[in-house]
Structure 1
Amino acid sequence: MIRVDRVALRGLTARGHHGVFPEERAKGQTFVVDLVLGLDTRPAAADDDLTKTVHYGVVAEEVVAVVAGEPVDLIETLAERIAQKCLEHAAVREVEVVVHKPEAPITVPFDDVTITITRSRV
């Protein structure tokens, strides 16, 4: 049985220029990302060794760089890019990504728009 522990990062925030409307691309807006990284933390815990787990500080910086980086039309595409970046870390077996778009151009009152995806190496 494969053991999967979870490391969560909540509320990673960056300004991005994603969206299908020209004003979204021009002005940009705030995006918030939540991650749950699935990995086996036993080797790191046994040896108290950062190199045997995922460095969540590095992951946070990489995710913010993706959000602030090359614009895409859809938050689905943004979530996929974030997931693939997380899976580049050897220890990460799976990832759940939630992208929040709280400033989405919707004409009715709302709190948030999100997409949630789960990706794995399997």
Structure 2
Amino acid sequence: MDLLDEIVLTGLTVFGHHGVFDFERRDGQEFTIDLRLGLPLGAAAASDDVTDTVHYGELADRVAAIVAGEPVNLIETLAQRIADAVLEDERVKVVTVTVHKPHAPIAQTFADVAVSVHRMQKEAPAWTSD
């Protein structure tokens, strides 16, 4: 695979109702999302046209809708849902999604807890047999 360029979106903060405990789902809390997309950006650089790249404003809206949407128990599941949505754009070859849960119900003092998933496009086979 050729070298990939990157689009990075960090610190997207969205209120959601994810968690294992009933009070997390009832009361909700803020989640912060970081995205790192690997994709070729040469066409966009040459054309200077937003349609030749991933529009990061639209990407932020799409991810925010996932976080604010249907609750899940685990931030691992939330990260996977976000990665799946990002990879629906075939131009994105790889994605790293980090979901931060800074207000997780942990008894100890902590600054943040986060889960990162790294996903890539499933490449089509070069040939198939009949």
TM-score (norm: length of structure 2)? 0.91
C-alpha contact 1:52 1:91 (8 A) present in aligned 2: no
Greater C-alpha Rg: 2
Q: Deviations over 1:44-66 (max 9, x none)?
A: 11111211111111100000100
Q: Which runs of 5+ in 1 are unaligned?
A: none
C-alpha contact 2:90 2:121 (8 A) present in aligned 1: no
Alignment pair present for 1:15 and 2:15 = yes
* Aligned positions of 1:21-36 closer than 5 A: 21-36=21-36
C-alpha contact 1:16 1:31 (8 A) present in aligned 2: yes
Moved more, 55-64 or 45-54: 45-54
Provide the alpha-carbon RMSD of the alignment: 0.9
Alignment pair present for 1:98 and 2:98 = yes
Measure the CA separation in 1 of the matches of 2:8 and 2:58: 13
Partner of 1:58: 58
Shift of 1:3: 2.4
Amino acid at match of 1:68: A
Partner of 2:108: 108
Partner of 2:78: 78
Q: Secondary structure at the match of 1:102?
A: coil
Moved more, 47-56 or 26-35: 47-56
Measure the CA separation in 1 of the matches of 2:105 and 2:21: 9
Q: After TM superposition, which residue ranges in structure 1, 4 or more long, deviate above 4 angstroms?
A: none
Q: Deviations over 1:23-52 (max 9, x none)?
A: 000000000000001100001111112111
Q: Secondary structure at the match of 1:12?
A: strand
Amino acid at match of 1:6: E
Amino acid at match of 1:26: R
Measure the CA separation in 2 of the matches of 1:73 and 1:116: 16
Q: Which runs of 5+ in 2 are unaligned?
A: 123-130
Q: Secondary structure at the match of 1:54?
A: coil
Amino acid at match of 1:12: L
